[in-house]
Amino acid sequence: MDVAVIGAGPVGLMLAAELRLGGAGVVVLDRRAAPDERPRANGLGGRIVEQLDHRGLLDRFRAEAAFAGPFPGFPFGPVPLDFRGLDSPMRGLMLQQPRMEALLAARATELGAEIRRGHELLDLGTVRGPDGPYRLEARYLVGCDGAHSRARELAGIGFPGTTDDELMRLGHFRGDLALFTTMPGVERGWNRRPGGRVLVTSLTPGVVIAGVREVAPEPPGEPTLGEFRDAVRRVLGTDLPLEEPLWLSRTVSSARLAEHYRAGRVFLAGDAAHLFPAGGSSLNVGLLDAVNLGWKLAAVVRGASPESLLDSYHAERHPVAARTLTQTRVQALLDRLTGEDGDALRTLFGELAALPQATRHLAGLLRDSDELPYVPDLPLTVGGRATRVAEVMRAARPVLFDFADRADLREAAGPDVKIVTAGCPDAPADALFVRPDGVVVFSGDDPAALREAMTAPGR
């Protein structure tokens, strides 16, 4: 086996599909006997939506999403941002995590990935399955196994950071949101009190999302409805009309970043590599980790690129997580600071965030903290047919977009590259050379510069 992916969450499944597109053999191992049905995430936003379009997955996601399109606004912690005046909108999808996993699992298996459930990693060469332990023969191993990653632990990769002292209880309940928001002193969204905050909202008709944040130790055992109601009463000072829950969870936020994304043949992606304390960025960043790593591992496995290419994964993705960690720490601070100081900070930050330049900057951070240049979705004409860059990228191969019908540039690109000679009224240069993950490596008209760009580290 070329690659073993540990963890069958969205990041692991996205990585499996990327590896198969690149021609690598892959097995996905997950210690759970069945997929997790808890809606830990409710949507995606930013550049990952464009990447789903590049892979032909956007229509599948959009068909099941409660919302798909440009976000008119987005919260930066407790501060609402208005995106309606932006010239580069932030696209989003509202779709709960279990459905994302199902769609990504279907795609990975369509492409030939094997998914083994009920298989737990014991050490870097041994797995315990339903029939007992067995040897894991894989050239590379990628830990996509979450905050308490066994793969990260076995690889000896440090995971420094901080853990919050607030406990977050979250639940989905059947009910009518109006019964909650018509109660005196209760509003949709977060309700602040001296002892914490209570969330009341809804993303699906007939289902109310309620949450409680308070400084408290995490109790043993599984969360219960009685425990949830007691927490609401402590913080809010009254009861909410909570019926039997669809599910309940407890979490403690952490802000952590792996010291390295690679240790020998072991790599990390998603929550195994980074934990963010706020902002819903975790899944977006993790899925983009998978897109960055997948084509590189596949290229090395095929012998199309040297082993040194794999070092660019940490070099490119670690700074993205560090920058995301910075902005999510700010979101968490804005949210949790109490009293008059907290009110003053949120008021002034909200005024500053409403300035056009600040809104654009914050929108860019939320969309993607990656500073690499990505190919825009230009309209193309290929062979007399109208198409888009996103459609050309479906095969996850390096592409030379030749906008000036330059034979010398096509020759310089070599045999491993997909050549697309296209008409484009908005072409930024004679040619663009684009990696399988959409990063523009070359933009220009010089064949020698193209050859040099193609041999640079991280090509």
Q: Looking at the domain assignment, is residue 436 inside a domain? A: yes
> Is residue 331 located within the same domain as residue 391?
no
Q: What is the mean pLDDT of the chain?
A: 93
Quick one: which of 262, 290, 286 has its CA closest to 18? 290
CATH number for the domain harbouring residue 170: 3.30.70.2450
> Does the pLDDT at position 301 exceed 90?
yes
Q: What is the pLDDT of residue 36?
A: 85
Report, as an integer, the average pLDDT of 4-26: 97
- Is-contact 25 2, C-beta < 8 A? yes
Final residue of a structural domain among 231, 252, 273 = 252
Q: Is the pLDDT confidence value at 456 over 80?
A: no
pLDDT digits (tens, 9 = 90+) for 168-202: 999 999 999 998 888 998 999 889 998 899 999 98
- The reply to whether 107 falls in a domain is yes
Does residue 8 share a domain with residue 129? Answer: yes
Last residue of a domain, one of 328, 347, 367: 367
Note whether 61 and 92 are same-domain residues. yes
34 and 120 part of one domain: yes
Domain assignment present for residue 142? The answer is: yes
Number of folded domains that form the chain: 3
Highest mean pLDDT among 166-175, 283-292, 374-383: 283-292
Q: Which of 252, 279, 306 is the last residue of a domain?
A: 252
**94 and 12 share a domain?**
yes
Is 110 part of a structural domain of the chain? yes
Question: Three-state secondary structure along the chain?
Answer: CCEEEECCCHHHHHHHHHHHHCCCCEEEEECCCCCCCCCCCCEEECHHHHHHHHCCCHHHHHHHCCEEEECCEEEECCEEEECCCCCCCCEEEECCHHHHHHHHHHHHHHCCCEEEECCEEEECCEEEECCEEEECCCCEEEECCCCCCHHHHHHCCCCCEEECCEEEEEEEEECCHHHHHCCCCCCCEEEEECCEEEEEEEEECCEEEEEEEEECCCCCCCCCHHHHHHHHHHHHCCCCCCCCEEEEEEECCEEEECCCCEECCEEECHHHCEECCCCCCHHHHHHHHHHHHHHHHHHHHHCCCCHHHHHHHHHHHHHHHHHHHHHHHHHHHHHHCCHHHHHHHHHHHHHHHCCHHHHHHHHHHHHCCCCCCECCCCEEEECCEEEEHHHHHHHCCCEEEECCCCHHHHHHHCCCCEEEECECCCCCCCEEEECCCCEEEEEECCHHHHHHHHCCCCC
| Contacts with 209 (C-beta within 8 Å, 6 or more apart), sequence order | 170, 171, 172, 173, 199, 200, 201, 202, 203
> Above 80 in pLDDT, residue 105?
yes
Angle (nearest 5°) at CA 235 between 340 and 332: 55
**Whole-number pLDDT of residue 235:** 94
On whether both 73 and 54 belong to a single domain, the answer is yes
175 within domain boundaries: yes
One domain, residues 130 and 233: no
> Per the domain annotation, does 383 fall within a domain?
yes
Residue-level pLDDT at 87: 80
Whether the predicted pLDDT of 204 surpasses 90: no
290 lies in some domain: yes
pLDDT digits (tens, 9 = 90+) for 318-372: 999 999 999 999 999 999 888 899 999 999 999 999 999 999 999 999 988 888 9
* 330 shares its domain with 431: no
- 459 domain residue, yes or no: no
Distance CA 303, CA 222 (A): 48
Task: Indicate which CATH number applies to the domain containing 399.
Answer: 3.40.30.120
Regarding whether 409 and 331 lie in a shared domain, the answer is no
Do 300 and 414 belong to one domain?
no
158-168 pLDDT, tens digit each: 999 999 989 99
Q: Is residue 39 located within the same domain as residue 139?
A: yes
Summarize pLDDT for 246-266 with one digit per residue, the tens.
889 998 899 999 999 999 999
The domain of 425 spans 379-454
What pLDDT score was predicted for residue 459?
65
Percent of the chain with pLDDT over 90: 77
Could you tell me if 247 and 271 lie in one domain? no
Please tell me the total number of residues recorded for the chain in this structure: 459
Tell me: pLDDT of 457 over 70: no
Percent of the chain with pLDDT over 70: 99
Residue 141: which CATH number? 3.50.50.60
